[in-house]
Amino acid sequence: MSTLILHLPTARPGPATEYSYTLTADGHTALRHATAAAALLPEPTRPGGEVVAVVPARLLSWQRVQLPPGLPLGPGQQTPRLRSVLEGLLEDRVLDDATQLHFALQPDAQAGAPLWVAVCDRAWLREHLQALEAAGRRVSRVVPEFAPGPTTSGGPELCALGTPEEAYVVLTGQGPDLGVAVLPLTPMALTLARAAAPATALAGAADAADESTLPVRAEPAVAALAERTLGHQGQRMTLYTSSQRALDAARSDWDLAQFDLASTGRTRALRKAGSALSSALYAPQWRAARWGAGVLVVAHLVGLNALAWTERKALAAKQAGVRSTLTQTFPQVQVVVDAPVQMERELALLRQAAGSVSARDLEPLLAAAGAALPEGQLPTALEYTPGELRLRGVTLSPDDEAAIAVRLQAAGYRARMDDGSLLLRAEGNP
């Protein structure tokens, strides 16, 4: 699915607000990356594409809570009661008034088990969504820039972001009970990350010459500063552009558009189906499957064409055999147009010459009708054409008509009532 991914600015929207965006056709490769006002943002490149808004890590707070058992948590069950329960649990953990904050539960959350709740300023988020909708870019999903949970490396990871004047690092993958931490870009951040590393990673580093190195990524604007700050500890940097960050965030299972900001169930279902189809059509991990499906389709087409060619060849051989039989049996036939019809005509001429009758002649038709008609049923008039006999003045009940049709069919004739008369035809007669 074609996707327009927007980084929401940290300030509230205004006339001069611009959004950093990434446009992708498959969710894995960026087609374009730039900054523009809401009214000048591009549209998704394919019909049905979605717009995804990314909430910066600095504007999100992550809280670990456990909701009472039996509390419904489904997408269509985010009721005011659930909102009140969350406000009561988080009231003493947040600095702002809980009624002014927006809450979003982790995907597949279950009551009675610990779960993550993302918290941000509700008015700020609503105003940005309304500004984008007013510009014709309705946001279908809101995702966090970074989310708790396992990372690609399986351990803690650092990401240096911001500007040289205001640089910071985001620490993720600290474990199931620690969320996303935003820290100043100092050596202490790397020390905290190494302290949060699992024991297995530290044990594996015991045999190494240096301390365990953790994955550290940096935005190009602060890459040099991160290298100077953390590089003296033997840490190597990997560039991590904002477009790559946007693509990774958009592939997240999170959707912060919940409660009063939630989209409809139909929209969620269509978005899920579109994302699955887009992944199957464009995602790199499905490339082998797409090639396999293409080869299978080509093989089927080749097989069907080969089978059709064989059937056409067999049919042509049978038609040639019928024509050959006709011309060999009746040498006077020079031009073959419809071999079965011409052969039947020649056979009829032979019977006439020999004085014999066929099932299409009058005498067999009269004999079959006389044997099938009920006693006392006599026609008042006869009309005969080759292969067809019409008996007028015959009156039959539906049961008698069905019985006569069965008896005549056994003799090789078809019978039916037509315009107050009984019509008999020889089988095969057009």
Is the domain of 61 the same as that of 132? yes
Q: Examine residue 69 and state whether it is found in any structural domain, yes or no.
A: yes
| 307 token code pair | 């089978």
pLDDT band at 389 (very low <50, low <70, confident <90, very high): confident
Tell me the chain's radius of gyration from C-alpha atoms: 41
- What is the C-alpha to C-alpha distance for residues 399 and 406, in angstroms, rounded to an integer? 11
CATH code, 370:
3.30.1360
DSSP assignment string, 296-356: HHHHHHHHHHHHHHHHHHHHHHHHHHHHHHHHHH-TT----S-HHHHHHHHHHHHHHHHT-
Question: Please, are residues 17 and 131 in contact by the beta-carbon 8 Å criterion?
Answer: yes
Looking at the structure, tell me whether residues 229 and 91 fall in a common domain: no
DSSP 8-state secondary structure symbol assigned to residue 184: E
**How do residues 329-367 score in pLDDT, each as one tens digit?**
888 887 888 888 888 788 777 776 776 667 777 788 888
Identify whether 215 is part of a domain.
Answer: yes
Q: Note whether residue 82 is domain-resident.
A: yes
Tell whether 85 is covered by a domain: yes
Measured CA to CA, the distance from residue 414 to residue 388 in angstroms comes to 10
Q: What is the CATH number of the domain that holds 263?
A: 3.30.420.380
Averaged pLDDT for residues 148-161? 88
Range of the domain at 410: 357-426
| Pair (90, 192) in one structural domain | no
Stretch 321-335: mean pLDDT:
85
- What is d(CA 424, CA 430) in angstroms, rounded to the nearest whole number? 12
Are the CB atoms for 398 and 353 separated by under 8 Å? no
Q: How far apart are CA 340 and CA 315, in angstroms?
A: 15
What's the pLDDT score for residue 199?
47
Q: How confident is the model at residue 72 (pLDDT cuts 50, 70, 90)?
A: confident
Q: Which pLDDT band holds residue 381 (cuts at 50, 70, 90)?
A: confident
Structural domains in the chain (count): 4
When pLDDT is cut at 50, 70 and 90, the band that residue 213 belongs to is low
Task: State the average pLDDT over residues 19-31.
Answer: 90
Separation CA 232–CA 235 (nearest Å): 7
Evaluate whether 128 touches 40 at the Cβ level (below 8 Å). Answer: no
Domain check: are 298 and 364 in the same one?
no
Rounded to two decimals, the pTM is 0.61
User: Is residue 247 included in any domain, yes or no?
Assistant: no
Place of tokens 């609503």: 126
Domain match, 73 and 131 both: yes
Same domain (yes/no): 39, 141: yes
Q: Are residues 43 and 130 in the same domain?
A: yes
Predicted pLDDT at 203: 41
Q: Is the pLDDT of residue 95 over 80?
A: yes
Q: How far, rounded to the nearest angstrom, does the alpha carbon of residue 229 sit from its chain's CA centroid?
A: 47
Residue 158 lies in a domain: yes
| SS3 label, residue 56 | coil
| pLDDT (mean) for 134-140 | 91
pLDDT single digits (tens) 264-317: 545 555 555 555 565 566 666 677 888 888 899 999 999 999 999 999 999 999
List the 114-121 sheet strands across, edge first. 61-66, 114-121, 101-105
Contact yes or no for 105/115 (Cβ under 8 A): yes
Same domain? 208 vs 267: no
Is there a domain that residue 410 lies in? yes
Strand (E) or helix (H) holding 168:
strand 166-172
